[in-house]
A and B are shown apart, each in its own frame.
Chain A
């Protein structure tokens, strides 16, 4: 199966096209079957992944427009492998949990197309291909929010689309310029990211290009102050939209930093550590505060996503194996945890058609299973050891500590503020007496909901207790990445930082 990546990318899309002829009442089973096969394929990818190899694997190459260096070029390494798995896993679980009846067929087909773009983004090694998938992902999402969303859905979806699109345009200009720089350096144009990794750019150029890419990534992540589209998108999106948005779409931005910014502009990235860390710090603390003030359960989770993404960014800019590997792990864990939390909010919304915390209270006594799963995911979200949330958060902060202890100390407040808003939510919704009449006869989670949630719970605990299967491939690829950065960095500051930024082994 040396075309496994193409298969992974296009199988859901083809299945989506075929979906148009599937009968309405069997579309759900069809969708689940397709995403299950896709997930199994991605598992196959994982089992056949060579963990001792930090480079690109399962590479596929097909010239598209060779004159311009644009090719069909796919590959996967330890950094992207688990993001692919996350995409297929979350899509499958999200589909199982679907409760929308209205125009289900179109929704499922949109989701299958979305899955293609998600997998595509993470396996594309050609910048143009990457960009195509990156932008295409907006289309199904626009449709999902705009059609199945809440009252303000049109405003929210347009805002989401235009805002992120504007950012990506700037990024695209940056890409064209990198290709041009490659041309001036070598005489041939190439959009292959692996080629770009070998390109050494002058410092000033790096800074400008870094900023161009930064705009694109920062809006996607979303980093403060570009984050305001997210609360609207989450507020209006149907559950499935929020799940995929928070779990996978946002990770495209942080993935971009690791795939593009760090290796292509190492000196600029290192020069930008402090400004970016300060932005992340604002994200962490400020959005955690905003989350604390929310009245709507879903908005708490939405803002908490931004706060956690701040920790991911900080880990990425730690510029050492601990931090970057931690941030990649945190992308996975945040995907699992935020996905589960949005699904849980969806469960209660399906029952009560409200997400306001003041409508609830005492839910633990009528819905014990629901309260238990929510509790487990809450603890994973606040980063309790032996849950998936701890490993990434710990490593990210640990890594960044080497770079800047003070900023890490402030960023560490995420463990306090995170506990504050999550426990407030839990207390308001689940504890206390059951006062609202409407909640007295709520049904606990049904089989369908449990089928979608229990896998997430199991993963959250499994990878919390034994994260090694994930960390090992990540470790290898991140080590390679840092070696590359050290080799090609040109400024003294960057060289010094990369050399010093690890535990001195001779001390042992």
Chain B
């Protein structure tokens, strides 16, 4: 079995290294083909492992070699395949494999084709390390690895120059990449502190040892560990206040957005909470905080998606919002439901992004949905698949999102957190509305693009083919709910619902009702030409469109003052005070020597004079300090 573990883990790395050999060379199709094939090797190995774990209830645990071993710390490169990690492996490799195939078409004319596949496969490898490691340090390797790949891929089109925020809210790919990296680093510091706490209190970073000892620890310590690990999770999963990088990350090529910034990397934070469930189940207060923040982000992000005009940003905000849902489930102790939503979301969100990629191709990279419209005529398949994705996202039966999202709302209601439930409920309505606002503006209505001279066309057949499995999964994944629950609760705790029967049905009904009304409202409004342009003058509209002015606040209150303070530290403090002091001391020595030089003039009468003065001083000293007086 270990053979398959290594195959699943290292195939992407081999693909990445292979592609990197051709990094600077002109486009070679076989580079992409090799990388994609290796991804499928990884996918099939993961599926095989899933079947093995599911059928035998065995856990595969291997240790490659020691990484850091010094003093009391011993970190090996250890990997584990258990129900949680194998679900993540399958999810990650499924989406990655299809995104690889899709990219063959999407990046076809890009000069960085080979480089792209090298980065993309490296990302998959890092993500596999993240989910498969058997210790927190290994997770951190993957954690930083995906951060690096995200930086490389957001900044993939590094040649673009910086523009004003008004023209492009992300400024430039390289700016967005740096923002993402640094913002994540801030959160990573929290995570590191969490690791330090774990190490000094349990003497290990291995999951099994840590979780074994966690119940013996002081509850304050456990709470602190929980908080700091969650800070790390907030960065990767772009939770408020670390959320701004995710929308800006849309500067990267769209397959990247689908894979990294929707399906896999951003869910790493949720994965961390799920993985550390023995820790978080000890501290329900922190869990409640996580859930509250999650519910807040679910609504907060959805509200920004309501008015945005940028195709990819809308989907990005939607990702943010769905991550909030996952955190609610994880925070309230329904770990398997969080994992389930993570999986279904990966399928339909990557589907939506890939669809958006098709639209961008058709529209020469135009992103403003108000310049599109009526695209269903030329892009039938893309339209169908994006509608499937949107229905799944909105949580309509029988699509995947219905099963997972409804469960999260049920958890919130069931655990008597009615306010959280209400927020999520409102969020569900908003989700349905913005999803179908997008669908309506892009695929239906007038063909506004003609005014701008676009000539849309459907994507290559193999790009559509790569999307098809995701579309199928977005439809059927929900029906695996029971077997999924059975499988992962082998490891994760079960969640027992108290509500039953009529209440449960009622709850589902209310949720479906708001989702449906959101859809119907969007269809009604935008088939009639949308909202009155006067809305755009509204304060609320401006607030939402400018992302609550948060990026500007960050710039004005953090970035700019930091740059200014740095300048002062250098020019004023370092040069004018510290260095000037050093030079001043040196100068005093020099000047005193220079002035003292007159003593040594060589003039005999002056020398005699100095001699007399010296003699007098010596005599005086003798008189004053004489021991015999």
Given contacts A475-B71, A503-B200, contact A415 B566 (CB under 8 A): no
The stretch that binds B, out of A20-28, A202-210, A320-328, is A320-328
- Beta-carbon contact of B71 and A427 below 8 Å: no
For A423, A468, A472, A502, the residue with the greatest tally of chain B CB atoms inside 10 Å of its CB is: A423
The A17-60 residues at the B interface (CB cut-off 8 A) are none
The answer to whether A292 touches B566 (Cβ under 8 A) is yes
If A228-B578, A321-B72 touch, whether A385 touches B145 (CB-CB below 8 Å) is: yes
| In the complex, chain B residues whose CB is within 8 Å of the CB of A227 | 578
Residues of A within 8 A of B68 (CB): 391, 394-395, 467-468, 471
B167-202 to A contact mask, C-beta < 8 Å, 1/0: 000001011001001100110110011011101101
In the complex, identify which listed stretch (B154-162, B280-288, B413-421) lies at the interface while the others stay far away. B154-162
Is A116 in contact with chain B by the CB < 8 A criterion?
no
- Quote the shortest CB–CB distance from A329 to chain B (angstroms): 8
Q: Are A369 and B24 in contact (CB under 8 A)?
A: yes
> Does A187 count as interface, using CB distance less than 8 angstroms?
no
CA–CA, A479 to B565, complex, Å?
Answer: 42
Say yes or no: A228 contacts B565, CB within 8 Å. Answer: no
Determine whether B370 belongs to the interface, using a CB cutoff of 8 Å to chain A: no
Q: Is B203 touching A508 in the complex (CB atoms < 8 A)? A: yes
Nearest A residue to B138 via CB reads A385
B570 surroundings in chain A (CB, below 8 A): 289-290, 293-294
Given A292-B563, A294-B570, A427-B178, verify A466-B196 contact (CB < 8 Å). no
How many residue pairs bridge A and B at CB < 8 Å? 166
Interface size classification for chain A: 35 or more
Say yes or no: A384 contacts B148, CB within 8 Å. Answer: yes
Give the docked Cα–Cα distance between A163 and B196 (Å). Answer: 38
Residue B73 contacts which of A398, A413, A423 (CB distance < 8 angstroms)?
A: A398
Query: Are A163 and B582 in contact, with the CB atoms below 8 A?
Result: yes
Q: Name A320's closest neighbour in chain B (CB-CB).
A: B71
A505 to B74, CA, bound (A): 13
Tell yes or no: A272 within 8 A of B by CB: no
Q: Are B174's CB and A228's CB within 8 A?
A: no
B215 within 8 A of A: no
- Contact of A454 with B by CB under 8 A: no
Give CA–CA (A424, B23) in the complex, Å.
24
Contacts of A475 in B (CB 8 A): 69-71
Contact yes or no, A289 B582, CB < 8 A: no
Question: Judging by beta carbons under 8 Å apart, are B204 and A508 in contact?
Answer: yes
Check B67–A467 contact: CB distance below 8 A: yes
In this complex, which of A163, A228, A397, A399 has the most chain B Cβ atoms within 10 angstroms of its Cβ?
Answer: A228
User: CA–CA, A320 to B347, complex, Å?
Assistant: 48
A189 to chain B minimum Cβ distance, whole angstroms, is 31
Query: From A506, which residue of chain B is reached at the shortest CB distance?
Result: B203
List of B residues within 8 angstroms of A382 by Cβ: 185
- Contact status B182-A431, CB under 8 Å: no
Known: A386-B145, A431-B155. A408 touches B193 (CB 8 A): yes
Among candidates B181, B200, B202, B562, residue contacting A289 with C-beta atoms closer than 8 Å: B562
> Does A505 lie within 8 Å of B203, measured CB to CB?
yes
Contact B200 A402, beta carbon cutoff 8 Å: yes
B566 touches A468 (CB 8 A): no
Is A430 touching B158 in the complex (CB atoms < 8 A)? yes
Taking the complex as formed, is A455 at the interface, i.e. its CB lies under 8 A from any CB of chain B? no
Taking a contact as CB atoms under 8 Å apart, the answer to whether B202 and A401 are in contact is no
A504 contact from B195, B203, B579, Cβ within 8 A: B203
- Which residues in chain B, 308-324, are within 8 Å of chain A measured between CB atoms? none
User: B586 within 8 Å of A by Cβ?
Assistant: yes
Would you call A293 and B571 a contact (CB within 8 A)?
yes
- Which A residues, 375 to 395, have Cβ-Cβ distances below 8 Å to chain B? 379, 382, 384-386, 390-391, 394-395
Taking a contact as CB atoms closer than 8 A, the residue among A162, A434, A504 that contacts B159 in the complex is: A434
Cβ contact within 8 Å between B202 and A507: yes
Within the complex, which residue of B160, B196, B565 is in contact with A408, where a contact is CB–CB below 8 Å?
B196
Q: How far is the CB of A242 from chain B (nearest CB, A)?
A: 19
Cβ-based interface call for A409 (8 A)? yes
Min CB distance, A97 to chain B, in Å? Answer: 22
> Which residues does chain B contribute within 8 Å of A159, judged by CB atoms?
582, 586
Once the chains bind, are B24 and A368 in contact (CB under 8 Å)?
A: yes
- B71: chain A residues within 8 A (beta carbon): 320-322, 325, 399, 475, 478-479, 502-503
> Roughly how many angstroms separate A409 CA and B174 CA in the complex, as a whole number?
29
Residue of B whose beta carbon sits closest to that of A409: B193
Contact A398-B196, Cβ < 8 Å, known A386-B145, A420-B182: yes
Known: A368-B24, A385-B145. A415 touches B567 (CB 8 A): no
A386 to B125, CA, bound (A): 13
**Bound form: Cα–Cα A247–B72 in Å:** 29
Q: Decide if A432 touches B172 in the complex (CB within 8 Å).
A: yes
Cβ-based interface call for A114 (8 A) = no
Residues of chain A with a CB closer than 8 A to B192's CB: 394, 397, 412, 415
Instruction: Check: A419 CB closer than 8 A to any chain B CB.
Output: yes
Complex Cα distance, B196 from A402, in Å, reads 8
Min CB distance A397 to B, Å, is 7
Report the minimal beta-carbon distance from A500 to chain B, rounded to whole angstroms: 11
Interfacial chain B residues near A402, Cβ < 8 Å:
200
> Are B574 and A228 in contact, with the CB atoms below 8 A?
yes
| Distance (whole angstroms) from the CB of A318 to the closest CB of chain B | 10
Asked if B34 is at the interface of the complex by the 8 Å CB criterion, the answer is no
Cα separation A479 to B72 with both chains bound (whole Å): 11
CB distance from A262 to the nearest CB of B (A): 15
**With an 8 A cutoff between CB atoms, is B140 at the interface?**
yes
Contacts of A397 in B (CB 8 A): 192, 196
> Chain A residues with Cβ under 8 A from B485's Cβ?
none
Q: Is A364 engaged at the interface, CB distance under 8 Å to the other chain? A: yes
A413–B71 CA distance with the chains assembled, in angstroms: 24
Per the bound structure, the CA–CA distance linking A227 and B158 in Å amounts to: 36
What residues on B are CB-neighbors of A466 within 8 Å? 65, 67
Given contacts A293-B569, A432-B159, contact A415 B188 (CB under 8 A): yes
Residues on the B chain within 8 Å of A292, using CB = 562-563, 566
Which of chain A's residues have a CB closer than 8 A to the CB of B204? 508
Which B residues touch A66, using CB under 8 A? none
Is B144 positioned at the interface, with any CB of A under 8 Å from its CB?
A: yes
Rounded to whole angstroms, the CA-CA distance of A293 and B161 in the bound complex is 21
Distance between Cα atoms of A452 and B188 in the complex (Å): 33
Contact partners of A409 in chain B: CB under 8 A: 189, 193
Asked if A362 lies at the interface with its beta carbon under 8 angstroms from chain B, I say yes
Q: Which residues of B contact A416 (CB under 8 A)?
A: 182, 185-186, 189
B582 near A507 (CB under 8 angstroms)? no
How far is A253 from B570 in the complex, measured between Cα atoms in Å? 24
How close is B69's CB to chain A, nearest CB, in angstroms? Answer: 6
Question: B67 contacts which chain A residues (CB < 8 A)?
Answer: 465-468
Neighbouring B residues of A424 by C-beta, 8 Å: 178
The CA of A228 and the CA of B293, in the complex, are separated in Å by: 46
Contact B72 A502 (CB under 8 A): yes
User: Which positions in B face A, CB cutoff 8 Å?
Assistant: 23-24, 65-73, 137, 140-141, 144-145, 148, 155, 158-162, 172, 174-175, 178, 181-182, 185-186, 188-189, 192-193, 195-197, 199-200, 202-204, 209, 213, 216, 562-563, 565-567, 569-571, 574, 578-579, 582, 586
List the 4 closest A-B pairs by CB distance, nearest first. Answer: A321-B71, A431-B174, A503-B72, A293-B566
Task: Using CB atoms and an 8 Å cutoff, list the residues of chain A in contact with chain B.
Answer: 159, 162-163, 225, 227-229, 286, 289-290, 292-294, 320-322, 325-326, 362, 364-365, 368-369, 372, 379, 382, 384-386, 390-391, 394-395, 397-399, 401-402, 405, 408-409, 412-413, 415-416, 419-420, 423-424, 427, 430-434, 465-468, 471-472, 474-475, 478-479, 502-505, 507-508
Q: Can you list 29 A-B contacts (CB < 8 A)?
A: A159-B586, A228-B574, A228-B579, A229-B582, A321-B72, A384-B148, A386-B145, A398-B195, A401-B193, A405-B193, A412-B193, A413-B189, A415-B188, A424-B178, A427-B175, A431-B159, A432-B160, A433-B160, A433-B161, A471-B69, A471-B70, A472-B69, A478-B71, A479-B71, A503-B73, A505-B72, A505-B203, A507-B203, A508-B204
Known pairs A322-B73, A364-B158, A394-B68 / 12 extra A-B pairs, C-beta < 8 Å: A159-B582, A293-B570, A385-B144, A397-B192, A398-B196, A401-B193, A412-B189, A424-B178, A433-B159, A471-B68, A475-B69, A508-B213
